[in-house]
Amino acid sequence: MNCVLEGRGVKAFGKAVHALSRIGDELWLDPMVRGLALRSVNSAHSAYACFLFSPLFFQHYSLGSVSEQGRKTINCKLIMKSVLPLFRCLTSIERNVERCRISIGTPDDRVVIQFFCRHGITKTHNLCFQESEALQAVFDSHLCPNVLKAPARLLGDMVMHFPVSQEEITLSMTPLRVSLRNHYEGGDDHMKNMYTEMSLHPDEFDYFQIGVESDITFCLKELRGLLSFAESHCLPVSVHSGAAGKPVCFSVEDLVLEATVVLATLMDSENRGPSQPTEMPAPTTPRCAGGLPVGSREADSRKPQDTPAMMELIASSQGSPITNPSALMLLLHQTDDSNKLVADEACVSATTTPASSMICSLLFRALSSEQDDNNRLPVLACYSEEEEEETRSPTP
Amino acid sequence: MPLSTQSQADDEQYVLVASLDNARNLSNLLKAITFKDHAIFSATPNGLKVTVEDSKCLQANAFIQAEIFQEFTIREDSVGFQVNLTVLLDCLNIFGGSAAPGVSTALRMCYRGYGYPLTLFLEEGGVVTVCKINTQEPEEPVDFDFCSTNVTNKVILQSESLKEAFSELDMTSEVLQITMSPSPPYFRLSTFGNSGNAHYDYPKDSDMMELFRCDKTQTNRYKMSLLKPSTKALALSCKVSVRTDSRGFLSLQYLIRNDDGQICFVEYFCCPDEEVEEEWLQSVE
């Protein structure tokens, strides 16, 4: 693969790397016919991000070379710590870099990132990579009952009220109101925390669709990178969500790029389904509903059952894999058009398969023939060859 | 100013008296070579030279010519002593590092000779502080025997272009490799770190390249830990000259303009890393 970016594109690319660095420690580079995908997933597999740059984004984009006969394009995995420093100072990149060339070459097992700067200066970085299968998560956002669309600025202004250290927030949607509030685990120190909540009328959004009233709790930190990227490109952000426990998807797109962040959400305890996977014990301390600081919060029209859903947590989206595999596994069953939580099946898989292969199993939920023709995944790449599924093995 | 009212009689006991209206003209320069605690001061009628060394492999010298000082009186051909540089810098900044614009610390540095402390009179806004710093027997600085006649390759670059490169250098690399050649890549800085290697190429016709005189291709490696302190001098400078001699010894000379626009120099000498293996040298992609 060989591609060339011009000045402004380098900055956008760098911003994507910054956003991905908020998610995970590794960066997957997948050159495809559709474009170059940069992906990352966090260690708990509860957050996934993908930035897809179409060939139009580049001054030049070509896959593979004649000499690599029979070899498919290489998908490689880089350590984020080795890539991020190259794009660390975006203002300096904007000022100095005229062109950037990225190529993946087989003989050296290196990814070459070359910056052609002002004054004839050239900076060449040869980075080691691990060959890896593509990382993908399949997410049918069009099946999500709840959809919001707003300028990045609006979402940025909403999350601005929460401190940078805030880990998780809860997005509540009702037909009358969209609200955002911070979320703390552990009822005991509720008196020491400051609770913030803000509400917006559905009219404030460019697009508002509500299928099911919900409170979804997800990790804010992992989202900030995408919001920053969207703001710098003045792109609207779409939020696709469902009930608690189902993943939430934030996406932006324009003519030449698409970016998606998929975050797991805390499971709603009333619909608790799968038990814990055997090799990944998780905190199961039940928290009593009495810990909820009802008094310090404004009484609102939220339904009473939401309260225990909030407090009786299985695990946070940041940490435990319990929620995540089940949440992500549910995606698979969702595409079968089943509204019921097919918990038992998911449960069996969850107990026996490690999370990494869970992701892999999602990968191979490719656009199979079972799906309708009008099912279009908004962003995510897929491999249509069914036989590839068998030959792949889980990412180590 | 209180400092100038000192009597003439006092001055006669000192073998060296050097005064500056703005102590920053000295302290900024010294900061560029503070990678070790001790510095060797050597004064001649030409001016002041301050030397800092590390493990006999690296030497940094700061030169402040006599003309930079408002007063520079020396009663011997050569005066030398050694002081703790960190303590000296603390004293020079005794009124606080960042002064309001227009306000500066005045300095009068006096030395009576062997066995006496270095006395600093510092004044700012009418307040005078006297500091006496113990001196030690000056060590003999290493003579790197770097003379212009042995120089094989020389380039002079505008510091702006190197500053970014040095700030981005992969610190997981143990060495910094410098290639100078009459043919491409002309002037190249390379690192070999945990995640891979990196090359910074400066072509000979770049407008950042003020002088390019390379006769033969030379590639030398220097320990990154030794060269990293030179980044401070680079940050202050506007131009830097990079020279290597036939043995691979490196000389970095930094042209620094002080607060009053006067020119001072800082020079770094570095020995090449002995463990270079020829087969490690990477070629151009």
Q: Determine the average pLDDT of the residues in A20-45.
A: 91
Q: Kindly report the nearest CA distance between residue A98 and chain B, in angstroms.
A: 15
A124, A128, A130: best to mutate for the B interface, most B CBs within 10 A: A124
Which of B264, B5, B272 is CA-nearest to residue B146?
B272
pLDDT tens for A136-193 read: 777 788 889 999 999 999 998 888 888 888 888 999 999 999 999 988 776 556 677 7
pLDDT-wise least confident of A114-118, A123-127, A130-134, A370-374: A370-374
Q: Please report the beta strands in chain A, taking only residues with DSSP state E, as ranges in sequence order.
A: 2-6, 26-32, 35-41, 47-53, 60-62, 76-79, 97-105, 110-117, 122-128, 130-131, 146-151, 168-174, 177-183, 197-200, 207-209, 214-219, 236-241, 248-253, 257-263
- Backbone region of residue A67 per phi and psi (left: phi > 0; alpha: psi in -120 to 50; beta: other values): alpha
Q: How much is the pLDDT for A55?
A: 94
> Amino acid identity of A66?
V
Q: Kindly report the nearest CA distance between residue A102 and chain B, in angstroms.
A: 13
Q: In sequence order, which residues have a C-beta less than 8 Å from that of residue A69 and are 6 or more positions away?
A: none
Res. B209: pLDDT tops 90: yes
* Cα torsion angle, A65, A71, A75, A79, sign: negative
Of the candidates A96, A120, A126, which has its C-beta nearest B196's C-beta?
A126
A308 by DSSP, 3-state: which?
helix
pLDDT tens for B106-133 read: 999 999 999 999 999 999 888 999 999 9
Q: Please state the domain extents for chain B.
A: 3-133, 148-283
**Is B148-283 the same fold as B3-133?**
yes
- Asked if the Cβ–Cβ distance from A125 to B198 is below 8 Å, we say yes
DSSP per residue, A198-216:
EEE-GGGSSEEE-SS-EEE
Q: How much is the pLDDT for A196?
A: 87
- Asked if the Cβ–Cβ distance from B285 to A125 is below 8 Å, we say no
d(CA B227, CA A20): 33
Mean pLDDT, chain B, integer: 88
* Cα torsion angle, B230, B233, B239, B243, sign: negative
- Asked if the Cβ–Cβ distance from B203 to A120 is below 8 Å, we say yes
Q: How much is the pLDDT for B6?
A: 52
- Asked if the Cβ–Cβ distance from B200 to A127 is below 8 Å, we say no
Q: How far apart are the two ends of chain A, measured CA to CA in Å?
A: 24
Q: How much is the pLDDT for A379?
A: 39
Of the candidates A82, A110, A123, which has its C-beta nearest B200's C-beta?
A123
- Asked if the Cβ–Cβ distance from B203 to A82 is below 8 Å, we say no
- Asked if the Cβ–Cβ distance from A120 to B164 is below 8 Å, we say no
Q: Are B200 and B177 in contact (CB under 8 A)?
A: no
Q: How far is CA A132 from CA A24, A26, A101, in A?
A: 16, 11, 22
Q: What are the chain A neighbours of B185 within 8 Å (beta carbons)?
A: 122
Res. B26: pLDDT tops 50: yes
Q: Determine the average pLDDT of the residues in B252-266.
A: 92
- Asked if the Cβ–Cβ distance from A82 to B196 is below 8 Å, we say yes
Q: What are phi and psi of A102, to 5 degrees?
A: -125, 125
> Amino acid identity of B8?
Q
| Element (DSSP H or E) covering residue B176 | strand B175-180
- DSSP secondary-structure letter at A264? -
Q: Determine the average pLDDT of the residues in A248-262.
A: 93
Chain A with chain B: Cβ pairs closer than 8 A = 58
ipTM of predicted complex? 0.83
Q: Kindly report the nearest CA distance between residue B241 and chain A, in angstroms.
A: 17
Q: Are B141 and B53 in contact (CB under 8 A)?
A: yes
Instruction: Name the pLDDT band for A37 (thresholds 50, 70, 90).
Output: very high
Domain B3-133 classified CATH 3.70.10.10?
A: yes
DSSP per residue, A74-122:
PPEEEEHHHHGGGGS-HHHHHHHEEEEEEEEETTTTEEEEEEEEGGG-E
Sort strands A47-53 and A257-263 into parallel, antiparallel or unpaired.
antiparallel
Q: What is the CATH number of domain B148-283?
A: 3.70.10.10
Please, what is the angle between helix A152-159 and helix A221-233, to 10°? 140
* pLDDT cut 90: percent of chain A above it: 39
